[in-house]
Structure 1
Amino acid sequence: MPFGVALARAVEKMPAPGALEGGCRFEPKWDGYRALVDVGEDEASVWSRRGTDLSATFPEITTAAHAQLPPRTVLDGELVIWLDGRLTFEALQERMGRGPRTAASAARARPASLAAFDVLALEGRDIRSRPFDERRALLVELAASWRPPLNLSPVTADADEAAEWFETYAVVGVEGLVVKGGAQPYRADRIWLKVKHRSTIDVVCAAVTGSRSQPQEIVAGLPIEGDLRVVGRTTPLTPAARRHLAPLLRPPEGEHPWPARISPGTFERFNPRTSPIDLALVEPFVVEVSADVAWNGKSFRHGLRFLRARPDAEVDAVRPPTAT
């Protein structure tokens, strides 16, 4: 992997235009896989943010990058797949599960695109120390002759336009906005900001991690196809939330719909674990959480935020959100 990637920390609302060095620049937050594209003399490679070589999985990207980019150039961007005018993360997951022998047919059936938003090296020159606005100008010039699947991610310095993007792009599956400083260099740290669409929903607390007296996270359930299914979990609970919840966590009164130990694959994308997860099962009750748009109809890919308990609400009245 050529470089470490810059990351963003979450904020609750759009920052003021001057909140970051050199003024704020706003970009869509794509719902895909972060990727660095490294173009060598003879071939191009694609790397995940954690350093996994994805070149064999996305041959359409490596082929296009080698054909359209100068050698010794490194781009930062997001791998996405469009289906019926919307982003589909599930199709990307399916592509990730394919072996090299089926990658070519998978690329033809569900081709990926690269939404490029930064250039880190250009023809052998490491330009990460340059301000974002300078790197962006070089990226725009580089992208002038691109053809799909290479695409230039849009950016604006206009806060009103960014606010409009935040509202209107949600219908196609864009998660929110990433905010960067016009004078910021590129470095592998949480130097950017991100603001995501969130909604308040009811879920069923039917288990916790930790213990009933010292809960660490709420394990959330929703009725799916007639059964109460594990659909995600909250981010770690605050000390105040733990104290508030502990008196409500009662042992199950009858047969519980979940086992006391589940595989790590039950939780899709956040806080991956390699060993089974022990649950402290509880009598189900309703809690209110804040969730982002990463709901696929069966589970939440990102952590939920606990807001409050609703022990007076009817568990049978809880319904899944509409898939986005």
Structure 2
Amino acid sequence: MSDLPFPLQPMLAKAVSEVPGADSVPGGLLYEPKWDGFRAVIHVEDGKCEIGSRGSKTLTRYFPELAEALLEHLPDRCVVDGEIVVRRGEPGAERLDWEALSQRIHPADSRVRMLASQTPASFIAFDLLGIDDHNLLEVPFAERRKALEGVAETFSEPVHLSQVTDDVELARRWLVEFEGAGLDGVVAKPLAAAYEPNKRLMLKVKHKRTADAVVLGYRVHKSGQGVGSLLLGMYDDGGELRNVGGASAFSDKRRLELVDELEPDVMRDESGEIVRGETDRSRFASAKDVSYVRLHPRRVVEVRYDQMEGDRFRHTVQFERWRPDREPRYCTFEQLEIPVAYDLSRVLA
């Protein structure tokens, strides 16, 4: 695998509004559940396991128990794409636990060891990118999946093989039924496609419309206490970080908590004073204070939104959760679901 780079940016998916038919893509589609966890590319070689994040960061130190299990269940000299999850609940009533998973990213080694014992992680494998001296990136997904199934014959808890189907009706049932287990939707993968890192060639259908955005700053609440709203940004095709709107509707308690959470990211000048900026004024509320506290653009948040208007959110969006596993530079407009064009005259008719 000398010609297979690591860390490796995983191939991504583009949002669509419904599960597409298998014949909608040349060569057909294979469907699998969309797991709500941390995307991870696993590299095993010479008795060592490295876990790379979606943004090519190393996650190995945060999941020592999983690295040990992967060494046991994966063959030496392989690269596997998949998802790290944390499960909770009694047998027969388990579901994914995002909060427990997100807490696993912690700087203190002692806490990492404690959480590895209290909330151990599992790995769901869904693609094989390399094995022995074979680089499989150019191999069609149908063949990569078959090779992965061969590797998975040695899998057991906490390493699993993601199930798949070529039955679109079953995939549509999964979209509804698997939500109860905490899954995020369904992914459709072109069977004939090569693996292209950082390209959105797969298709995903989620239960809700969400997006990852970079936190650019915050406005102080009108009461003068706490965060009133977060200013959000995304990168355009030219690499420019553009303001796309804001997230608000925080409780009094949460507003105060956010001030402390965001303090490490606050921009300050040479004298230590907080750097402030201003957004454009609305012609409908020209007297409104548009100043905000500027933040270093390094924190990613997942938000819920209804629709876009141009390159901005149509309405104020809702805070969903922090994404410590995501890199700001991957918060692009490309991730958004773009509605299919429709002739207004047909609606009016």
Q: TM-score, normalised by structure 1?
A: 0.69
Counterpart AA for 1:167: V
* Corresponding position: 1:9 with 2:14: yes
1:20 Cα deviation after fit: 2.4
Which residue pairs with 1:32 in the alignment? 37
The unaligned stretches of length 5 or more in structure 2 are 1-5, 211-227, 234-241, 259-279, 304-313, 338-349
* Corresponding position: 1:51 with 2:56: yes
1:12 Cα deviation after fit: 2.2
- How many residue pairs match? The answer is 264
Give yes or no for contact 2:187–2:205 (8 Å, CA) kept in 1.
yes
Query: Map of 1:119-198 to 2, 5 A cutoff?
Result: 119-188=128-197, 189-198=199-208
Query: Map of 1:62-77 to 2, 5 A cutoff?
Result: 62-77=67-82
The unaligned stretches of length 5 or more in structure 1 are 231-242, 272-286, 307-324
Counterpart AA for 2:17: E
1:269 Cα deviation after fit: 3.0
SS, match of residue 154 in structure 2:
coil
SS, match of residue 24 in structure 2:
coil
How far does the alpha carbon of each residue in 1:161-192 deviate from its partner, in whole angstroms, 9 at most, with x for none? Answer: 10011111112221212111111111212211
Instruction: Indicate the larger mover: 49-58 or 92-101.
Output: 92-101
Which residue pairs with 1:322 in the alignment? none
Query: Map of 1:194-205 to 2, 5 A cutoff?
Result: 194-198=204-208
Give yes or no for contact 1:39–1:70 (8 Å, CA) kept in 2.
yes
**2:178 & 2:230 partners in 1: Cα distance?**
35
| Residue 92 to residue 63, structure 1, CA distance change in 2 (3 Å) | same
Counterpart AA for 2:60: S
SS, match of residue 269 in structure 1:
strand
1:228 Cα deviation after fit: 6.6
**1:118 & 1:130 partners in 2: Cα distance?**
11
1:42 Cα deviation after fit: 1.9
**1:77 & 1:115 partners in 2: Cα distance?**
5
**1:289 & 1:154 partners in 2: Cα distance?**
37
- % of aligned pairs identical? 30
SS, match of residue 56 in structure 1:
helix
Give yes or no for contact 1:20–1:180 (8 Å, CA) kept in 2.
no
SS, match of residue 51 in structure 1:
coil
* RMSD between superposed Cα atoms in Å: 3.8
Give yes or no for contact 1:34–1:78 (8 Å, CA) kept in 2.
yes
Which residue pairs with 1:218 in the alignment? 245
* Corresponding position: 1:295 with 2:295: no
Counterpart AA for 1:269: V
Which residue pairs with 1:269 in the alignment? 301
**2:205 & 2:22 partners in 1: Cα distance?**
14
1:80 Cα deviation after fit: 0.8
Which of 20, 25, 28 does residue 23 from structure 1 map onto? Answer: 28
| Residue 226 to residue 52, structure 1, CA distance change in 2 (3 Å) | closer
| Residue 34 to residue 266, structure 1, CA distance change in 2 (3 Å) | closer
**2:55 & 2:298 partners in 1: Cα distance?**
21
Which residue pairs with 1:80 in the alignment? 85
**2:209 & 2:231 partners in 1: Cα distance?**
22
Instruction: Indicate the larger mover: 175-184 or 81-90.
Output: 81-90
